[in-house]
Amino acid sequence: METGFEKKLLCIGAGYVGGPTMAMIAYKCPQYKITVVDINHKRIAEWNSDNLPIYEPGLDEIVKTARGKNLFFSTDVDKGIKESDIIFVSVNTPTKTFGVGAGMAADLQYWEKTARHILQCAESPKIIVEKSTLPVKTALAMERILTSNNNKIHFEVLSNPEFLAEGTAINDLENPDRVLIGSQQTESGIKAGNELVEIYTNWVNKNRIITSDIWSSELSKLVSNAFLAQRISSINSISALCEKTDADITNVTKAVGFDSRIGMKFLNASIGFGGSCFKKDILNLVYLCRHYGLNEVADYWDSVVKINNFQKERFVINMLTTMFNTLVNKKICLLGFAFKANTGDTRESPAIYIAKRLIEEKAELVITDPKALKRARIDLQNIDANVKYVEDPYEAASGSYAIAIMTEWDIYKDLNYEKIYNSMIKPAFFFDGRNIVDHQKLFEIGFNVFPTGKPALTHF
């Protein structure tokens, strides 16, 4: 073993999970050598530069503290596998777009290639840790691949799902609600699980580390995300009813959320949830339930995704009908494109769907976002339409017929809306998809204001 390091940890996959997770372990555990590998040369070059491939508050400082000391980013996957004691697998597991389970099941091709790559290169026993979100029983497939050569190298597979929320990932890693470690309930499985427990106890209180069987660990990740998404869809379904009955979703939420059994979190009405996990994990759960013949359970969870789709479409229809049933050649400014504030990530962002639908209605779109414009260009690149991407929100809003808030960035709460109103075509419309601005104040400025789940304030 290389002098000075107690253990060598490898992470295969330098994305949103692998990069920050390993940076935090390196930051907290200078006694371990941490290497993050990826076949994407551009991404590794960015991890080694001053311009990291992902934006996450606090990440820059942590990477810069550890990089070059005990944290290394490389494209040499083979060398990494040979040298490491513990391998975290954090590769992409998107929803399948083809064949059996298309649109629901997880696409495990990258994950299986990684398992075979480990088998091919390993020369000593390894602990393999599933970090990617995977369907239940995937660890079993991993074990079968790793023991397929009947060689004498022993592999132990653990499940250690991530529970990171983008925008707060560094705090989630530093002060986790829980760390979940699943292992086979054999002597060697429990021993391997304890090695992972030992890593986390360098900074996480032991009473926050949960050990379980491997299948419960895999399922817990899917269920956690499904429950959070279900709360969002639940409150969004009620927001539609509030608009019809002139009730105010904020008042309803307050009354419901004050119940200590329910709580306030994840009860903000909005244009819907996005991100890489919620939809993917629920569809995974739906697919799993159908596979085991639990169709009623599958339908229940599928309805969470359906409400999310309904909420996005409802927002577009509301814009169309309000603006005199035509959006042709009308300039509309979208404030925000990331799926949530404090991240540049746009995966499954409601803004993508809404932008595409507005383009179908032949609107002229101007998109502004402090961190996600680069991703927005990629998301909408195949659309033959006149979409402009503008950094400055005042420039973006100038000359528009309507403004729609897509992302709850703090900067959008404090813009000079009087200045914006004066630069717009009248009547000026304001659609708040996140309920983050003072609607009464906007109305007094002159806007026709359409919040989510609240009565509209109009001058008509």
Residues assigned a catalytic role: 277
Total Cβ atoms within 10 A of residue 31? 11
In angstroms, rounded to a whole number, what is the distance separating the alpha carbons of residues 48 and 34?
14
The two three-digit tokens of residue 276, written as one number: 């890489």
- Using DSSP's 3-state secondary structure scheme, residue 152 falls into coil
Query: What SS3 string covers 292-349?
Result: CCCHHHHHHHHHHHHHHHHHHHHHHHHHHHHCCCCCCCCEEEEECCCCCCCCCCCCCC
Residue showing tokens 């009623």: 296
Residue pair 388/363 in contact by the 8 Å Cβ criterion: no
In angstroms, rounded to a whole number, what is the distance separating the alpha carbons of residues 364 and 400?
9
From 66, 75, 73, 68, select the one nearest 27 (Cα to Cα).
Answer: 66
**Burial bucket for residue 409 (CB in 10 Å: 0-12, 13-18, 19+):** buried
In b/e form, how buried is each residue of 260-294, taking b as 16+ CB within 10 angstroms? eeeeeeebbbbbbbbbbbbbbbbbbbbbbbbeeee
Residue pair 179/199 in contact by the 8 Å Cβ criterion: no
* Residue 379 backbone dihedrals phi, psi, to 5 degrees: -60, -30
Which residue type does 256 have?
A: V
From 165, 143, 101, 129, select the one nearest 13 (Cα to Cα).
Answer: 129
